Amino acid sequence: MIVDGDSLTAKLMCFALEDAGFEVAVAMCGEDAFDLVLTRETSLLILDINLPDTDGFALLSESVSYTHL
């Protein structure tokens, strides 16, 4: 999963990972990302540390406490 507030950066990373054969989910803010973490099996999080509604460190900490990450 890619979580980045910049849509161009998120799209570029998404295209690169999909070209490498990965299934990729993209979220533009922490709230959307957390919802995806709770509803999808996620093996990898690529997080922007400066999201519009939170920071990547807080999102990672919250995600780990609720999931298998």
| Whether residue 67 has pLDDT greater than 80 | no
The CATH code of domain 2-66 reads 3.40.50.2300
Give the model's pLDDT for residue 62. Answer: 87
Give the model's pLDDT for residue 6. Answer: 96
Q: For residue 6, how far is the Cα from the chain centroid?
A: 12
The full set of domain ranges for the chain reads: 2-66
| Among 7-11, 25-29, 41-45, the least confident range | 41-45
Neighbours of 57 (CB within 10 A): 10
Q: What angle do CA 35, 10, 26 make, to 5 degrees?
A: 25
Which pTM value belongs to this model? 0.85
